[in-house]
Amino acid sequence: MNRQWSGGAAAERVLWQVFIASMLIAMVSGAVVALHYQPSFHPLQGKVYVATTPIVDGVGDTLLRSQELVLLDSIPQHHGTLVPVGDTLLKWNEALLSHASIVRAEAGAILVATHQVATSVVISAILLLVLLHILWGYQKRLPVGLLLVLLVLLETTSWLGTVLPGDQRAFDAYSIGRSLIVDNLPIVGDVVAPLLPTDANAARVFALHALWLPAVVGGLIYGLSTLWQRPIEHGIMAATAVGICGIGIWSGLSTPPVLVHTTSAPVWHLAVPYALFHVLPADATMLMCVGWWSLAVMCGASRILLVRVVGALLVAIWLVGSGVISIAWQ
């Protein structure tokens, strides 16, 4: 078994370094974005416009610079071009306006895109680490239970992050996620119910996403690193950081993040439960998700290679299926 494990040791080591580097980038980029975000779903009266040219008043004073957003009940006398953002049915709130203002700016678009790329790498790396440990039968000293708890916390943190923009996709994501967790997950649902009220609360979601859950995740990562005795490999981490930042800059400049999501398509790594939720009752969806992962984890405890391969395939199917469903949902 040790000879078998040695074949995946290099991949395991690289994945852990990639995970740490991408987690750091996600936390730093998220912290910078948080400085400009307004955690409130308080509704706003009026309509949002974007200035496609500088806007000046009758005496030539600049009211808005090009590409700036403004919320107006009525359009005053001005010189320049204002274009409405979103359709006439869109209901604006403080969080949505701040999110739109962030991604409208070039630097903000790069930061948000980098945060999204880093988050995707974090989730991919942790899923692949779980797959690897299932395949090799938990032979290393890394406590697989803590690894699975880390995966659940990261998925939950990411889900809460999709709620923060305050658009229709955000509220759909909150409603579906809360239904699956609070109403259909025994014991855990009762514990977290006070933290997840029926109507989304931006301040609470922001606190969980940006403060409390990252703190717990950081503690788990430190504990796992200590138990696993994995030294920091600066070369791999630097290459990961350069790659994520490069993709984030390219994505932010070429295809900036969406100002307002008009569809309920989830982020890719949450696509499977969201898709199941739309074709099955909520309790059946949660049962299938819990059963799928329980079977995969139990397969990893087998001494039979074929059984462990089945467990690894279950994780791989979940990972690939999430991407395929996400693409099809667009």
pLDDT at 141: 54
pLDDT at 1: 46
Q: Minimal CA–CA distance to 103: which of 75, 138, 68, 73? A: 68
pLDDT at 194: 92
Q: 73 burial class (0-12, 13-18, 19+ CB within 10 angstroms)? A: exposed
Distance between CA atoms of 279 and 289, rounded to whole angstroms? 14
Q: What percent of the chain has pLDDT over 90?
A: 55
pLDDT at 193: 92
pLDDT at 267: 86
pLDDT below 50 — which residues of the chain?
1-4
Pairing type for strands 69-72 and 82-84 reads unpaired
Q: Minimal CA–CA distance to 251: which of 106, 97, 96? A: 106
Distance between CA atoms of 98 and 83, rounded to whole angstroms? 18
User: Is-contact 227 142, C-beta < 8 A?
Assistant: yes
pLDDT at 65: 83
The predicted model scores a pTM of: 0.89
Fill in the amino acid letter for 82. L
